Amino acid sequence: MKTFLIVYSPTNNITELQARIRSLGDSFFFMDNHCLLSVQDDTMTAKQVFERLEGESKLNSIFVSAISTNVERGYWGSMSRDFWDWISAHQSNI
């Protein structure tokens, strides 16, 4: 399992973009334009996620980054309980 952080501009077609994100794996949307995406394919890259999200349309201002969901790998913060529950359910063993 691999997790990505996706940040996108609200100028994109949000309904279509969120549907494409959901089609790639388990997702958690937060802060109006952020998403965590968990995919089964450990070899998938941020570029591949971007290309699948873009499809035939051109996206405005989108950022995709692979992240670690392991506390010891460097994440911390103050977020909703739902956010931390999602992270816990998708923790990698890396």
- Give CA–CA dist 93/11, Å, rounded: 36
Residue 93 pLDDT exceeds 50: no
Residue range 2-89 forms a domain whose CATH class is alpha beta
Is the pTM here over 0.85, yes or no?
Answer: no
Concatenated DSSP letters of 59-85: PSSEEEEEE---GGGT------HHHHH
Using the Cα atoms of residue 88, residue 92, residue 93 and residue 94 in order, give the sign of their dihedral.
negative
Residue spans of the domains in the chain: they are: 2-89
Please give the pLDDT value at position 71.
Answer: 62
* Three-state DSSP state, 28: strand
- Looking at every residue in the chain, the average pLDDT score rounds to 87
